[in-house]
Amino acid sequence: MPPKKDDRPRVWVAAPSSNEEPYLQCRMVSDSGEDSRTCTVQPEGGGPELTLPTSDVLPCNPPGHRPDNTQLLYLNEPCVLANIVARYDEQQIYTWTSRILVAVNPYEEVDVYTEKHALSLPSLAPRELPPHAFSIAELAYRGLLHRRESQAVVVSGESGSGKTVSMSHVIHYLTRRTGGGSSSIGNIGGTALSNGLSELVLQSNPMLEAFGNAATVRNHNSSRFGKFVRLLFDTGGYRMAGLRMQTYLLEKVRVTRPAPAELTYHVFYYLLSGSPAQQREEWGLKSPTAHVLSAPMAMPSGQTAVPLSAEHCAASFDRLTSAMKTVGIRPESQVAVFELLAGILHLYAAHIHSGELSTPPSTSRVTHPAQRASPAAHAPAPHSSPVSETTRQVRRPLRQGRRRGRRRVQDHRRRRGLARAGAPPPAPHLPPSAAGASARPY
């Protein structure tokens, strides 16, 4: 015989602290009426009966899920969470709560950002828009176009919730919607200016992530800074006319003293694992584990952030140099930036001894970490210079960057002088390491 159908009403109660779930679904066993202060419930699937205050028992919605939490029959906390979980189990990571979009990070690639989905949104009414990051961008664009008012999209959440990825999808859709990018949405053609600005917006993201994101215990791509992006449109509201980007609250301590079990910024790992081997040898760089700043340091419990793979760093380094070129950073300026990063890696490993360990006593001495274990490292060699190999490693890339900076200033002054005299300006001076495309792919 088929099992007897349980017609008792379903309810939610707070789960015990030992339970992984915050709420427990139960069946109502007895209720003495509206005047009763207690009722008896039994957990779904069996278990001992519980007698609880009536105020602690919350009604449960019928089976199924809704795309908008405001469409639920009962709008209490466990019902909202159950609706989001039911949609998440079906690979639907977005849920509306009126005009607010709730996103759950799947921690994997999901096929929900397709070209077909983006092209279908402009023809839908506001109430027909599905819960999606593209829909938020579409609503913001319509408010700008029809109401002629500035729009704001605020992305907030805890670390690892997917704020960086969500905002990148919003910006990507807006640039496409206004005619920018490789293809447009909504039959709006982009001008050369709007296309160029759209490309700048999209290419700025790899740069910001490289210099402002880091791996933590909870999130492998955590943004350690705040970002405010302002997109400016023409008077008709159809095409992008300008942009302003502001960053703030950068976590500088991650360069001087990273927390245990966490890593420094991505760009150091891109440089150590993704830059050309010839450049790494010239700058005295080795593997990430060989440098004090980039080596992962585990907590006493053994927990630590997962370092980026060499393949990922190589691809990200190429993407970073391409983005820097797109936004107007010349190859020799890119080299100067990477040389400065190499100097920071060497400088972080330097150990400065106090005056009593050096000769003469009024000076200090810098040693390499590998020299600290040897007692001979603390004894000054006769007729030796106080500048150690570590100091030379730090000064070498910085000195190269200063020389290139002086050459650029001299070239600029020489071109200005010749232009005033009416002579054609000479070709800009490039260092040998940056002149050939085969020597450096960026």
Q: What is the pLDDT of residues 157-197, one digit of tens each?
A: 987 888 888 988 998 898 888 765 545 565 544 555 556 67
Domain presence at residue 300: yes
**Same structural domain for residues 327 and 408?**
yes
**Same structural domain for residues 46 and 179?**
no
Domain presence at residue 92: no
Domain presence at residue 81: no
**Same structural domain for residues 269 and 238?**
no
* pLDDT (0 to 100) of residue 62: 93
The C-alpha angle with vertex 254 and arms to 251 and 260, in degrees rounded to 5, equals 130
Domain presence at residue 2: no
Domain presence at residue 65: no
114-139 as b/e, with b when 16 or more CB fall inside 10 Å?
A: eeeebeebeeeeeeebebbbbbbbbb
**219-230 per-position pLDDT tens digit:** 888 889 988 888
pTM, two decimal places? 0.70
Residue written as token pair 């942009």: 243
**Same structural domain for residues 117 and 176?**
yes
**Same structural domain for residues 146 and 264?**
no
Contact 224, 254 (CB under 8 A): yes
**Same structural domain for residues 225 and 272?**
no
The C-alpha angle with vertex 223 and arms to 220 and 228, in degrees rounded to 5, equals 155
Closest CA to 167 of 178, 158, 175, 155: 155
Range of the domain at 367: 255-372+389-435
Closest CA to 359 of 378, 331, 334, 336: 378
**Same structural domain for residues 211 and 158?**
yes
191, with CB counted inside 10 A (0-12, 13-18, 19+), is middle
Residue written as token pair 């939490």: 69
**Same structural domain for residues 339 and 409?**
yes
Q: What is the CATH classification number for the domain harbouring 118?
A: 3.40.850.10
**Same structural domain for residues 278 and 232?**
no
Contact 121, 140 (CB under 8 A): no
**Same structural domain for residues 266 and 240?**
no
382: tokens are: 């006769």
Last residue of a domain, which of 220, 251, 282? 251
- Termini Cα distance of the chain: 74
Residue 322 has pLDDT above 90, yes or no: yes
pLDDT confidence of 47, banded at 50, 70, 90?
A: confident
Domain presence at residue 273: yes
Domain presence at residue 87: no
**327-365 per-position pLDDT tens digit:** 889 999 999 999 999 999 998 888 776 655 445 555 556
Q: Which of 111-125, 159-173, 417-431 has the lowest mean pLDDT?
A: 417-431
Q: Give the pairing type, strands 10-14 and 58-59.
A: antiparallel
Residue 133 has pLDDT above 50, yes or no: yes
Per cent of the chain over pLDDT 90 is 44
Domain presence at residue 356: yes
**Same structural domain for residues 310 and 394?**
yes
* pLDDT (0 to 100) of residue 229: 87
Higher pLDDT, 420 or 213: 213
Q: What is the CATH classification number for the domain harbouring 15?
A: 2.30.30
pLDDT confidence of 138, banded at 50, 70, 90?
A: very high
Higher pLDDT, 205 or 82: 82
- DSSP conformational letter for 379: S
Distance between CA 84 and CA 88 in Å, rounded? 6
CB atoms within 10 A of CB 390: 21
> What domain count does the chain have?
3
Last residue of a domain, which of 251, 275, 301? 251
Q: Which of 99-108, 217-226, 377-386 has the lowest mean pLDDT?
A: 377-386
**Same structural domain for residues 215 and 297?**
no
Distance between CA 216 and CA 307 in Å, rounded? 10
Query: 27 has which bridge partners?
Result: 10, 42
Helices within 101-191 (DSSP H only) = 115-120, 133-147, 163-177
Last residue of a domain, which of 251, 271, 303? 251
Distance between CA 196 and CA 201 in Å, rounded? 9
